[in-house]
């Protein structure tokens, strides 16, 4: 083989084919991210420093959207409602999800029938859109004589409950509906975590005389703690961003007693047409989500070490 042929062969072998470079495969994803996520995020950030309104072409750059937001007493009431909604939703989703996951795992270890049925029923809430969940619970909370919950409460002598017209009870009602909606996700994550607990360790503890409570608090919970922390962060992010279920359940009412941050951003932009105020609320929500996401990635990184 001549030197010219060898040189040409080396040049050809040095070139990368289409399948050997990731750029053509990553380009569509990058375009989608820039179009649907990155650009809207930066545009919302830009609009939060304006007094722009939908339907009006002229606007000015100003800090008034944030100043008015933090000077509004209703904003701090909304933060309290959001904190109540998020805290109790996440706590009860975690507790109920863990109880169901523990029950299913125990049932499977004892070869009990019905564990698949229980797991399937628990997953129903995950496949139902939030808008539909809000409508379903609104029908259950109906305060007329045909309302399901009030009907049964009247039968047992509790009496009529103003589920959606009493300001405090309405917040509790929305929280209960959201707990039902999000418990399935907690159950799935915690169930997968329980499957990683070494059976030999549990059996050895049982042989050594450890009680069921001792095995739970000294072996099972410490073993699934990383999964619990991840579940805690994810549920907090999802709950902070919940607005569809609250919108169809209460609409933020009565008054603004159930208006959470995500619903406020939607209301300001799409109902009141105030892009500046709505964008400032959205930026605040983005900041909260970014902090929670940073904590999530930190926990994930620590768990890999």
Q: Could you tell me the residue range of the domain that residue 277 belongs to?
A: 73-304
Q: Assess whether pLDDT exceeds 80 at residue 271.
A: yes
Flag whether pLDDT at 176 surpasses 70.
yes
pLDDT mean across residues, the chain: 86
- Tell me what the mean pLDDT of segment 75-84 comes to: 93
Does 13 reside within a domain? no
Structural domain contains residue 199? yes
Question: pTM of the predicted model, to two decimals?
Answer: 0.84
Contact call for residues 226 and 299 (beta carbons, < 8 A): yes
In a domain, 39, yes or no: no
pLDDT in tens, 178-222: 999 999 989 999 999 998 888 888 888 888 888 888 888 888 988
Q: What is the CATH number of the domain that holds 189?
A: 1.10.3720.10
Is residue 11 in some structural domain? no
CA distances from 77 to 67, 83, 256 (A): 16, 10, 9
pLDDT, average across residues 232-250: 92
Is-cis flag, bond preceding 165, omega within 30? no
In this prediction, residue 39 has a pLDDT band, given cuts at 50, 70 and 90, of confident
- Confidence at residue 11, expressed as pLDDT on a 0 to 100 scale: 52
* 36-40, 168-172, 220-224: range with highest mean pLDDT: 168-172
> If phi over 0 gives left and psi between -120 and 50 gives alpha, with beta otherwise, what is residue 29?
alpha
Q: How distant is the alpha carbon of residue 153 from its chain centre?
A: 31
199 versus 148: the higher-pLDDT residue is 148
Q: Up-side HSE of residue 138: CA atoms within 13 Å toward CB?
A: 16
pLDDT value, residue 90:
95
> Does any domain span residue 262?
yes
pLDDT of residue 231: 92
Mean pLDDT to the nearest integer, 137-160:
87
Task: State the DSSP code for 216.
Answer: I
Q: Report which of 226, 218, 235, 234 is spatially closest to residue 192, judged by C-alpha positions.
A: 226
For residue 300, pLDDT beyond 80: no
pLDDT greater at residue 48 or residue 210: 48
Q: How many domains does the chain have?
A: 1
Q: Per the domain annotation, does 287 fall within a domain?
A: yes
Tokens, residue 264: 């406020």
Strand residues in the chain grouped as ranges (E): none
């Amino acid at each position: 083989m001549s030197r010219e042929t060898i040189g040409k062969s080396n040049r050809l072998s040095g070139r990368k084919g289409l399948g050997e470079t990731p750029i053509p495969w990553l380009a569509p994803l990058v375009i989608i991210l820039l179009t649907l996520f990155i650009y809207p995020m930066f545009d919302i950030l830009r609009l939060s420093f304006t007094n722009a309104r939908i339907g009006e072409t002229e606007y000015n750059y100003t800090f008034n959207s944030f100043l008015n937001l933090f000077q509004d007493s209703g904003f701090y009431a909304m933060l309290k409602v959001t904190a109540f909604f998020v805290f109790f939703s996440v706590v009860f989703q975690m507790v109920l999800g863990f109880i169901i996951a523990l029950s299913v795992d125990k049932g499977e270890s004892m070869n009990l029938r019905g564990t698949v049925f229980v797991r399937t029923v628990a997953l129903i809430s995950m496949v139902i859109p939030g808008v539909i969940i809000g409508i379903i619970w609104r029908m259950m909370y109906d305060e007329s004589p045909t309302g399901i919950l009030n009907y049964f409460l009247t039968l047992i002598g509790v009496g009529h409950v103003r589920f959606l017209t009493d300001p405090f009870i309405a917040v509790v009602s929305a929280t209960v509906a959201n707990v039902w909606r999000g418990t399935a996700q907690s159950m799935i994550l915690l169930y997968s975590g329980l499957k990683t607990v070494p059976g030999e360790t549990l059996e050895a503890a049982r042989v050594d005389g450890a009680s069921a409570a001792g095995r739970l608090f000294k072996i099972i919970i410490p073993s699934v703690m990383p999964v619990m922390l991840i579940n805690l962060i994810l549920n907090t992010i999802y709950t902070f961003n919940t607005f569809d279920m609250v919108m169809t359940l209460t609409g933020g009412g009565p008054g603004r007693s159930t208006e959470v941050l995500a619903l406020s951003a939607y209301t300001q932009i799409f109902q009141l047409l105030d892009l500046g105020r709505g964008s400032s609320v959205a930026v605040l929500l983005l900041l909260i989500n970014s902090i929670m996401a940073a904590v999530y990635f930190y926990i994930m990184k620590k768990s890999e070490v």
